[in-house]
Amino acid sequence: MTGRSLKKVITVAAAGILMATSAGVAAADIQGPDVASYQHPGGGGINWFGVRAAGYQFAMLKATEGLSYVNPFFVQDSMSMRVAGVARGTYHFARPNLPPEPQAAFYSALVLGQNGPLDLPPVLDLENSGGLPPDALIDWTHRYLNTVQAMTGRRPIIYTYPRFWQTAMADTNQFTSYPLWIADYRGNDQPEVPGGWPAWSFWQTTDSGSIPGIGAGVDLNVYSGAQGDFTRYANMPFSGSGRGSS
């Protein structure tokens, strides 16, 4: 996953990039990083209390890749995020050269569901075609998503970027019922939305941000409000405007 700087995210957010939530509450201040093993240089931990104190309310955490890779910091980060009050999304990096159902089962078994407190829905990170032509990749994606939804009980989010979707997925509009997490780093007021999606839900604006508590450059994301009130979407155990307690 890729992007720019924290300053850019703040600038874009301040320009009013976000839609209102279904409750009419602006979501411009609902931001969070996505992290993998790269954000643990030298094996060091992430200070999730520091992340939350800096105002970040969620994070997307890499769980698995293909059929064998598990993020070695997944359990550590999952536990620490919950204690710190940071809502957790988890993602699987797709390897479409391998069958989808076993990958979906591998991911779902590791994350142990996505329905608990502070859980965002599961995420499919789709940015590699595995050499499949568009029709085959579209079929692969349907099968993966259907399996994950059946196993976790929640409709997955799709992460991708415009050019990949327009080429590898032939800009298909078959997935518009799934929330979209789009990567677009060009600094526009809105990201480019492919595939006929009526709206984006998360926007990855940079891969070189900086956050207190994380000892390496990090991707930064913002929530649009397209899925409604963030506290409900993330199963947060408190109410309000979407802000959690520090």
Does the annotation mark 65 as catalytic?
no
- Choose, from 65, 77, 119, 125, the residue flagged as catalytic: 125
The token duo for 118 is 């502070």
What is the phi/psi pair of residue 140, to 5°?
-55, -45
Residues 176, 179, 59, CA angle at the centre, nearest 5°?
160
Instruction: Establish how many alpha carbons lie within 13 A of residue 26's alpha carbon, considering only the half-sphere containing its beta carbon.
Output: 8
- Choose, from 34, 77, 119, 219, the residue flagged as catalytic: 34
DSSP class of 26:
B
Does the annotation mark 219 as catalytic?
no
Does the annotation mark 192 as catalytic?
no
> CA–CA separation, 20 vs 57, rounded Å?
17
Contact 164, 184 (CB under 8 A): no
What is the phi/psi pair of residue 175, to 5°?
-120, 20
Contact 29, 234 (CB under 8 A): no
- Choose, from 101, 127, 139, 192, the residue flagged as catalytic: 127
Residues with active-site annotation:
34, 125, 127
